[in-house]
Amino acid sequence: MPQAAGRYWELVMTVPAASEEAASAWLFSQGASGTVVQDSGPLVEVRGYFPEQAEQGRLNRAAAAFLASLPAWGLPAQGAHSRIRLVQAEDWAESWKRYYRPLQVGRVHIFPSWLPVPEDLQARAGEPDGPVILRLDPGMAFGTGQHPSTVLTLELLQAYLRPGNALLDLGTGSGILALAALGLGAAAVLAVDRDPVAVEVARQNAGSLWDGAKIRVEQGDILDPRWQPQGGPFDLVAANILAEVLIPLAPRLPGWLKPGGVFIGGGVVSWQQASVVEALRPAGLVKIGGKAQEAWVSLAFRRAQE
């Protein structure tokens, strides 16, 4: 199992069940590298993980302010509280095993690396339109398929990806979208993440699943205006990140897409959908589809033909 050395801040938000999705979205908006949700009756614990360099005091103050704001969003806050502690990286990596289970999203079947794949499913994997089997080890990277935003983005990927397409995966995390695309017939994939731990995890997952000649995994800060992907333009760009990242990316997306290409944006909380659509419209990206689950939305856009 790929692991990262060092320690992380574990910020635990205990909230009413109806506020779980908002808490998870907030943790990612603050820079959490991943989250784990644990039910505990009417209250749930949403655990977010931050690098040790993050300022403990700032996280504490921001968490308290967020919890106090829940009623303003029409969300319950009774019993809500937060706590923070330092944990070893290995503690987080091992915690995934308690929550990570096999999952099917359309043709894509996702299995933890420590569980066997059923023989009948494995036997059908080579058939035309057969199952695409991903054996992933998320380690310290975001992306097990369990999160609604990943499920929704995988569904849209299967709807719009065509065999032979070239894909750019922004914020790849564990590499789940990139590897699913290869299994679905993509000819080439560039997967990018700014987190060096995610890059390491994605490379190890890619190396165990697919021909490395078809996929490149690179570290890069996609919000840095100097960063440009190599090998583009692409038939499809996917970014299962956050609305707070998708919106500033909007002006640059047309340069990364072929005319008529498709952009899939995930990690959008439902009340942010209109803002994302409006931000992408001036860039010539028109909404053509979307999927929703709980408080999350993933959206598909097409670049106009020139």
Clarify whether residues 173 and 283 are in a common domain. Answer: yes
List the structure tokens of 102: 């096999």
Size (the chain), residues: 306
Structure tokens at 87: 């944990």
CATH number at residue 216: 3.40.50.150
How far apart CA 223 and CA 193 sit, in angstroms, is 11
Asked if residue 20 has pLDDT above 70, the reply is yes
Question: Do 160 and 275 have their domain in common?
Answer: yes
Mean per-residue pLDDT for 208-220? Answer: 81
Residue 269, strand partner residues = 296
Residues 46 and 188 reside in one and the same domain: no
Please check whether residue 120 lies inside any domain of the structure: no
49-53, 205-209, 262-266 — which is least confidently predicted? 205-209
Residue 23, φ and ψ in degrees, nearest 5: -65, -40
- Please identify, among 71, 97, 123, the residue that sits at the C-terminal boundary of a domain: 97
Is 79 in the same domain as 150?
no
- When divided into structural domains, the chain yields a total of 2
Residue 122 domain-assigned (yes or no): no
Is pLDDT at 159 greater than 90 in this prediction? Answer: yes
CA–CA separation, 301 and 251 (whole Å): 14
Residue 88: count other Cβ atoms within 10 Å of its Cβ. Answer: 14
- Boundary residue ending a domain (97, 130, 153): 97
What pTM does this model have? 0.76
Residue 135 lies in a domain: no
What residues form DSSP beta bridges with 93?
none
Question: What pLDDT, on the 0 to 100 scale, is given for residue 272?
Answer: 85
Taking each continuous run of H as one helix and of E as one strand, the counts in the chain are: 10, 14
Domain extent for 52: 7-97
**Do 288 and 151 fall within a single domain?**
yes
The one-letter amino acid code at 253 reads: L
In a domain, 124, yes or no: no
8 Å CB contact between 46 and 23: yes
Same domain, 63 and 173: no
